[in-house]
Amino acid sequence: MTADASPVVSARSAAFGYAGRAVVSDLTFEMAPGEVLAVLGPNGSGKSTLVRGLLGLNEHLAGEIEVLGVPVTRRSDRSRLGYVPQRHTLSGSVRSTVREVVSTGRLPHLPWWRPATRHDTQLVDEALATVGLFDRAKADVATLSGGQQRRVLIARALVGEPALLIMDEPTAGVDHVSQEGLVKVLRRLVDTGVTMLVVTHELAALQGVVDHILEMDAGEVRFDGNPTDYICHVESVVHQTHRGDGEHDDQVDSRAQHPMRAPYGIASTSKTEV
């Protein structure tokens, strides 16, 4: 982050929760413009609470947190935040084309009385091209694969011209080929300078995309740094476990592959590059 660039997200000893009970506490980190931050952690670690906190959807209980330079408690306009939820499929109860679904991402920017302009149409075209679905614009979304539907949701978020794009498990629940297609989309977004926060369990699928990692556990940050340092962090945890449990080297190697030890596809600098 350059000296004159304000962080997109800045948290200092922040806490979020529900009904006065903190689920995430002592949260301190920053996101720079154009950065891709991966938020990692087991189920129940606080990842979803963090995302909902950034979106202003749960209680801010302590500390300070600003998104796009505005405290979350004072943010009323969330149109600059793009959100792609964790969803395996789009609803098939109402038939819609790909273009129709993507176009709904412009609604927060359109007064109820004004029809879509040429600019709005151009943004939809560009978003469809970015996610590789321009040729499927007239297709019924119900006919698309799970990976293609996830790309529709990304395009819908993009047409809102977000300053921060938040994605919840974008590669989850889709096959390997679809994952590769989604990662290509994310790489295109990186090339255009989009700032992204990605909640994921599958860091290995995002090699070359992520440049900042935040690992959470039990509602607290356990690691905050770059992918290379994260590998060292994981190896240190495995080594400490080895010393404490008196395991043999082959057992340590096995535990390094366990999802709770190298949770997101990064086990060793000798085996995996990020």
Cβ-proximal residues to 223 (8 Å cutoff; 6+ apart), any chain: 213, 214, 215, 229, 230, 233
Mean pLDDT of 230-249: 72
> 168 and 154, same structural domain?
no
Q: Domain for residue 109, yes or no?
A: yes
Whole-angstrom distance, CA of residue 209 vs CA of residue 52: 23
The reply to whether the predicted model has a pTM over 0.75 is yes
CA distance 158 to 191: 14
144-180 confidence digits (pLDDT tens) = 988 899 999 999 999 999 999 999 988 888 888 888 8
Looking at the fold, whether 69 and 96 belong to one and the same domain comes out as no
pLDDT reading at 253 higher than 50: no
d(CA 73, CA 270): 45
**Structure confidence at residue 273 as a pLDDT band (50, 70, 90):** very low
Give the span between the Cα atoms of 116 and 84, in whole angstroms.
Answer: 22
pLDDT band at residue 199 under the 50/70/90 scheme: very high
**How confident is the model at residue 244, as a pLDDT?**
59
Q: Are residues 71 and 195 in the same domain?
A: yes
Q: Is 247 among the domain residues?
A: no
Are 160 and 103 within 8 A, CB to CB? no
Q: Average pLDDT, stretch 29-43? A: 95
Q: Which of 162, 192, 214 finishes a domain?
A: 162
Residues 109 and 140 in one domain: yes
Return the pLDDT at 5: 77
* pLDDT bracket for residue 264 (50, 70, 90): low
pLDDT of residue 42 exceeding 80, the answer is: yes
